[in-house]
């Protein structure tokens, strides 16, 4: 029997744990800082999908070279709507001073963030901005309005679906292997999720990157991917255990991990290739989605090659030093 690598996981297990522990710690610190900061007040910088609000994106119909706009001018025009537009004349109308305006793509795209508006109110904003800063490409106007209650609900349903997906996976591994494997697969998965959340907590805190419902989707995909990877390694460990049960458990694990190492690296690479392509060419809609998956795939490979098997070796009863 020949393996590609003489992989001594057991010997280096403490380094593996230290690396994982530090990464998780930095992640958790990121989430705590984010939670304590006045501008975010949550472990992650929650986007429009979860907090509610209005996002209007307008594309100016100018050729390559758009003249620069002053975001304050746009903001002032929107605030002025309060006094002149019938859709904003009531006392309960939203606070227009709380607008965030961004110019993207060399001043070609105007992105406006406002509190929750009604459809008619958002129309007013679009026509007002059009009056002063247009013309806009009509077919490229995108308006997104999400009520605050819907945002909370989405957050809740995202968390619930995450929880049930984890539970389902745990039950399956429990059924196919045993409780120890299922516990460790979940542990590895949690490790990956914490790292991805941590990266986004830091990104949110430092660069104002927001998490949307696609982020929840990416977490679930990472969960599936992470468990998939861990299970492949576990499957090998179990097979080794059956074939060469005269070997010590830690040795079996080293051999099993060594045998699946190439596969895990190749698989990670073939998954990373499309993701990197989406990052580069996929446009802004999918950028952070692909980025979250990228981090998740890297963390997932690490946890299934190194973390989960090295932990398995200490939980084992038939461990021989």
Partner 1 sequence: MGRKNYWFLVVILFAVLSIFICTNIPFQLGLDLRGGSQLTLEVQTTDDIPKITPDDIEGVKAVLDRRVNGLGVSDSQLQTIGTNQLLLELPGEQDPSGAAKVLGETALLEFRIQRNGTEVQLRDLQTQRNSVESIIKLLEDNNSAQLRKEININNEINKLFEKYNIQSDQILDIDQFNLLKNKINTDIAGLFEPTLLTGQYLTNAGRRQDQITNNWEVTLSFNNEGGELFADLSKSIAGTSRLLGIVIDGISYSEASVGKQFETAGITGGAATISGNFTADDARNLEVQLRGGALPLPIDIVQIRTIGPSLGTQNIRLSLFAALTGLLFVGVFMIFIYKLAGFVAVLALSFYSLFTLSIYALLPVTLTLPGIAGFILSIGMAVDANVLIFERLKEELRNGNTLIRSIDASFKNAFSSIIDGHLTTLISCITLFYLGTGFVKGFAATLGIGVVLSLFTALTCTKAILKFLMSYQGLRKTSNFINPNQIPSPSINLQ
| Site residues (CB under 8 A) for partner 1, limited to 91-110 | none
| 34 contacts: CB under 8 Å, gap ≥ 6 | 40, 42, 43, 44, 45, 201, 204, 205
Q: Does 142 bind partner 1 (CB under 8 A)?
A: yes
CB atoms within 10 A of CB 92: 4
Closer residue to partner 1 in complex, CB, 34/122? 122
Q: Does 90 bind partner 1 (CB under 8 A)?
A: no
Q: Lay out the site mask for partner 1 across 165-204 (x = CB under 8 A, - = otherwise).
A: x--xx--xx--x----------------------------
Q: Does 143 bind partner 1 (CB under 8 A)?
A: yes
| Site residues (CB under 8 A) for partner 1, limited to 23-62 | 59
- Interface segment toward partner 1; rule CB under 8 A; list 10-18, 39-47, 132-140, 246-254: 132-140
**CA pair distance 270, 262, nearest whole angstrom:** 12
- Interface segment toward partner 1; rule CB under 8 A; list 11-19, 91-99, 162-170, 191-199: 162-170
CB 55, CB 112: distance < 8 Å: yes
**CA pair distance 204, 136, nearest whole angstrom:** 31
Indicate which single residue of 16, 81, 146, 292 sits in contact with partner 1 (rule: CB under 8 A). Answer: 146
SS3 for 209-274, per residue?
CCECHHHHHHHHHHHHHHHHHHHHHHHHHHHHHHHCCCCCHHHHHHHHHHHHHHHHHHHHHHHHHH
**CA pair distance 8, 26, nearest whole angstrom:** 27
Q: Does 114 bind partner 1 (CB under 8 A)?
A: no
Vertex 101: Cα angle to 100 and 106 (nearest 5):
150
Residues pairing with 110 in the sheet: 58, 103
**CB of residue 226 to partner 1, shortest distance in Å:** 9
Closer residue to partner 1 in complex, CB, 7/225? 225
| Site residues (CB under 8 A) for partner 1, limited to 212-241 | 213-214, 216-217, 220-221, 223-225, 227-229, 231-232, 235-236, 239
Closer residue to partner 1 in complex, CB, 18/269? 269
């Amino acid at each position: 029997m020949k393996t590609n690598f003489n992989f001594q996981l057991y010997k280096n297990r403490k380094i593996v744990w230290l690396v994982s522990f530090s990464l998780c710690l930095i992640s958790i610190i990121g989430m705590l800082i984010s939670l304590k900061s006045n501008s975010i007040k949550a472990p992650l910088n929650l986007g429009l999908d979860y907090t509610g609000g209005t996002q209007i994106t307008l594309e100016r119909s100018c050729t390559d070279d758009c003249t620069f706009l002053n975001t304050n001018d746009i903001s002032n025009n929107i605030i002025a709507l309060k006094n002149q537009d019938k859709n904003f004349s009531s006392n309960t109308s939203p606070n227009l001073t709380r607008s965030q305006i961004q110019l993207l793509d060399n001043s070609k795209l105007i992105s406006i963030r406002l509190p929750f508006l009604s459809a008619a109110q958002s129309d007013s904003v679009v026509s007002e901005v059009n009056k002063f800063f247009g013309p806009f490409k009509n077919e490229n106007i995108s308006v997104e309005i999400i009520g605050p209650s819907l945002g909370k609900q989405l957050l809740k349903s995202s968390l619930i679906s995450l929880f049930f997906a984890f539970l389902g996976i745990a039950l399956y591994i429990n059924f196919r292997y045993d409780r120890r494997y299922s516990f460790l697969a979940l542990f590895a998965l949690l490790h990956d999720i914490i790292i991805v959340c941590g990266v986004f907590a830091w990104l949110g805190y430092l660069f104002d990157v927001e998490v949307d419902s696609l982020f929840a989707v990416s977490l679930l995909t990472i969960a599936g991917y992470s468990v998939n990877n861990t299970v492949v390694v576990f499957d090998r460990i179990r097979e080794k255990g059956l074939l060469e049960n005269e070997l010590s458990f830690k040795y079996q694990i080293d051999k099993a991990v060594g045998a699946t190492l190439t596969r895990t690296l190749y698989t990670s690479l073939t998954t990373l290739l499309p993701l990197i392509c989406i990052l580069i060419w996929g446009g802004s809609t999918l950028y952070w989605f692909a980025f979250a998956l990228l981090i998740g795939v890297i963390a997932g490979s690490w946890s299934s090659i190194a973390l989960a098997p090295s932990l398995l070796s200490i939980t084992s009863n038939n461990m021989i030093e």
